Amino acid sequence: MSRILIVEDEPKSVRLLSLVLEDKGHTVAQAANLEQARRLLGGELFDLMITDVRLPDGSGLDLLEQAHENQPGLPVIVVTAYGNVTDAVRAMRLGALEYLQKPFELEATAIVVDKALEQDKIRAEHTYLLDQIMEGEHQVQIVGQSAAMTQVRDLVTRVASTRSNVFILGESGTGKEVVAKVIHAASARRLQPLIRVNCPAIPSQLFESELFGHIKGAFTGAYESRKGKFELAGEGTLFLDEISEIPLDLQAKLLQVIEARSFTPVGGTSEIPMKARLVAATNRDIKELVGQGRFRDDLFYRLNVFPISIPPLRSRREDIPDLAEHLLAHLQKEFGLKKRPILSETIDVLLRYDWPGNVRELRNVLERAIVLSADGPIAPVHLPEELLTLGSGHSAHDFHGHVDQFKRRLLIDALQHTGWKKKEAAARLGLSQRAFSHYVKRYDLDRDRPEDA
Ligand SMILES: Nc1ncnc2c1ncn2[C@@H]1O[C@H](COP(=O)(O)OP(=O)(O)OP(=O)(O)O)[C@@H](O)[C@H]1O
Ligand SMILES: [Mg+2]
């Protein structure tokens, strides 16, 4: 369903066009002359404009320029008198997408309109896909076999196919954006855009305009009409990142839009339905902010239909080896470098650290290590000082957990070296077979066994 502006002075032609368009489920606005058309273009955002060339107060071709100045990228179909090739050629030169000849043929008209809307949609999708490929993120995945991450993946799969709003909670660098991307990619909306709003980055006086769009001249500096993020997201996903940073008055505005499921561009006169799914994220303790009255509880409940919590990396250390492999592969590809191994001693150091910056910090540490290790394997010396000289008190609260992690890693290493032959692995570690079987059970090592071993 699209919003289409018809600029045409002959009532018969208007009726015919409206009939064809409304039949297809589109919404139609009409202008009988240039002046009316200019007023409408100045007050609303359209998906398509169909304009006659000959109008009572001038040429529709002049409107074309103004429309593009107002709203760049607006697709326009120009209507010419039968056989008037000059007008048609001029229209195309001025940026019209298509032209139609009068008298209208119902079928031809429907086809041209469909084609124009389709072409515009393809262009938008194309730009979006290109962006994704350029970012190299067309293959995001949530890595980690810990119980916590298995549950996160499970929740993501379950919520992806629904329309529910999602709230992602987790410390900085835990992978909130990764989860948002995967939800989008796993949903039926995947071919529609995923639009991210980095809430703290928007100055509060521009917030409404960024989110809901604005009409040319709505405020000083609004030189052209622009669609906001809500409209750009279309039927896709709108990712409101760091949402806790929105000031209270704008929280009220946002709540109003979510409840009405429609919004009005700044300076605009008509409402636009909101169809995107909302995914919000924060690294703050949002319940505490709600308790302090710094985040509206009604907005919180609207957004928090389906919460997903990502635990900090230090409470799911068993994900570290997989994450390290994954991030290294990514970084090496990004840098165009040959794959090189990471020594198990290096992994052991990574397992002992507390990762206040979570997965992002792990990524940064590995990026540095790749640079330092030049051609060889990634060794502990390539890690930052603070990882190697862990203060004793640093992670003492989880002493046993760390020892367990360390043991588990040694056992897995031995199994990997021996192709999962338990007898040889036990011998390698100087353990009795009985002790070894005990550990296999205790640490659930068969979970890590590759299919072919
Ligand atoms: N489970 C995961 N699987 C794969 N990569 C991950 C995972 N978690 C995080 N990453 C990687 O770690 C980095 C940080 O992740 P992301 O940007 O999603 O975190 P965030 O929670 O949004 O952080 P912030 O609160 O700082 O915005 C990214 O490079 C991301 O690709
Ligand atoms: Mg983030």
Q: Which domain CATH number covers 63?
A: 3.40.50.2300
Could you list the residue range(s) of the whole structural domain that residue 260 is in? 148-311
Let me know if residue 49 belongs to a domain: yes
Ligand 1, pocket residues at CB < 6 Å:
142-144, 170, 172-178, 283, 326, 359-360, 363
Q: Which of 311, 340, 373 is the endpoint of a domain?
A: 311
Query: What is the residue with the minimal CA distance to atom 29 of ligand 1?
Result: 360
Distance 451 CA to ligand 1 centre (A): 28
Q: Cα–Cα distance between 426 and 415 in angstroms, integer?
A: 8
Q: What are phi and psi of 87, to 5 degrees?
A: -60, -45
Let me know if residue 453 belongs to a domain: no
Atom of ligand 1 nearest to the CA of 330: 31
Which CATH number fits the domain that encloses residue 399?
1.10.8.60
Cα angle value 167/323/284 (rounded, 5°): 30
Q: Give, in order, the Cα–Cα distances in Å from 321 to each of 2, 121, 290, 324, 327.
A: 49, 42, 37, 5, 10
Atom of ligand 1 nearest to the CA of 327: 5
Residue 177 and residue 274 in one domain: yes
Distance 173 CA to ligand 1 centre (A): 5
Residue 103 and residue 166 in one domain: no
Domain count, the chain: 3
Distance 176 CA to ligand 1 centre (A): 6
Which CATH number fits the domain that encloses residue 301?
3.40.50.300
| The pLDDT of residue 390 | 63
Let me know if residue 142 belongs to a domain: no
Q: Cα–Cα distance between 305 and 300 in angstroms, integer?
A: 9
| The pLDDT of residue 432 | 87
Residue 122 and residue 246 in one domain: no
| The pLDDT of residue 278 | 97
Q: Which residues 6+ apart lie within 8 Å of 93 measured at CB?
A: none
Q: Which of 281, 311, 341 is the endpoint of a domain?
A: 311
Distance 390 CA to ligand 1 centre (A): 24
| The pLDDT of residue 182 | 93
Residue 329 and residue 198 in one domain: no
| The pLDDT of residue 395 | 47
- The residue to which tokens 């084609």 are assigned: 115
Q: Which segments in the chain show pLDDT lower than 70?
A: 125-139, 390-402, 452-453
Cβ atoms of 355 and 362 closer than 8 Å = yes
Let me know if residue 368 belongs to a domain: yes
Distance 379 CA to ligand 1 centre (A): 24
Query: Which residue in 306, 330, 360 sits closest to 157, CA to CA?
Result: 306
Let me know if residue 225 belongs to a domain: yes
Task: State the alpha helices, DSSP H only, in 275-389.
Answer: 286-291, 297-303, 320-335, 344-352, 358-372, 385-388
Residues linked to residue 279 through DSSP beta bridges, in sequence order? 166, 239
Q: What are phi and psi of 267, to 5 degrees?
A: 80, 0
Dihedral over Cα of 30, 32, 37, 43: its sign? negative
Cβ atoms of 192 and 236 closer than 8 Å = yes
Alpha-carbon Rg for the chain, nearest whole angstrom, is 29
Nearest ligand, CA 149: 1
Residue 40 and residue 117 in one domain: yes
Query: What is the residue with the minimal CA distance to atom 6 of ligand 1?
Result: 175
Give the chain's length: 453
| The pLDDT of residue 391 | 45
Q: Cα–Cα distance between 177 and 181 in angstroms, integer?
A: 6
Let me know if residue 143 belongs to a domain: no
Query: What is the residue with the minimal CA distance to atom 9 of ligand 1?
Result: 175
